[in-house]
Structure 1
Amino acid sequence: MNLRIKEVIKGKGMTITELADKMGINRVNLSNMVNGNPTVETLNKIADAIGCPVTELFEKPQSDGASITCPNCGKEFEVELKAKER
């Protein structure tokens, strides 16, 4: 199972430490959960704390369009490609 928890956390403008504080748990414990094999309950708690659906924490399916990831914030932008008119 490919999770993208760190990517989503960064995309929400948070750090692991900030998320751990918001969840009321130790940063090391949260980091171990994220890097290990988190339970469904843990995934739900993380999703609730960062304000996203739990499905956003899983690997995104490939889209037909192109995307660009911002090197500063990690946010992904979809790019729509259009055919040039003659």
Structure 2
Amino acid sequence: MIEQLRIKEAIKEHGTSINEVAEKMGISRFTLSTHVNGNPSTEILLRIADAIGCPVTELFEQPKTDSLTLICPHCGKNINIKVE
């Protein structure tokens, strides 16, 4: 099972912005956005985690066994569905 990255959410949860993370990493906002929206290397993931002060595992979604989360195509919000 492939885990999904949740870099943007982790950045927000740590009270920082893409601009601040890029500055801490010594790269441009555009370069960081390219990594975040693409397929970042392990090195980049480690640098992002270091910049926001979290373990790299926090950048990955944890699988949920008792619920299913969908994203609304209109507003982008999560829709949680309980699996029984």
Same fold (TM > 0.5): yes
> Which residue number in structure 1 is paired with residue 64 of structure 2?
62
Unaligned runs of 5+ in 1: 65-86
SS at match of 1:59: coil
1:15-39 Cα offsets, whole Å, 9 max, x none, are 1011101111100000000000000
Q: Based on CA coordinates, which of the two structures has the bigger radius of gyration?
A: 1
TM-score, length basis structure 1: 0.69
Runs (4+) off by over 3 Å: none
| Length, aligned pairs only | 64
Residue 6 of structure 2 is aligned to residue 4 of structure 1? yes
Residue 44 of structure 2 is aligned to residue 26 of structure 1? no
CA distance in structure 1 between the partners assigned to 2:65 and 2:45 by the alignment: 24
> Which residue number in structure 2 is paired with residue 38 of structure 1?
40
TM-score, length basis structure 2: 0.71
Q: How far off is 1:63 after superposition? A: 6.5
Identity of aligned residues (%): 64
Letter in 2 for 1:4: R
**Structural RMSD (CA):** 1.3
Q: How far off is 1:61 after superposition? A: 2.6
Unaligned runs of 5+ in 2: 67-84
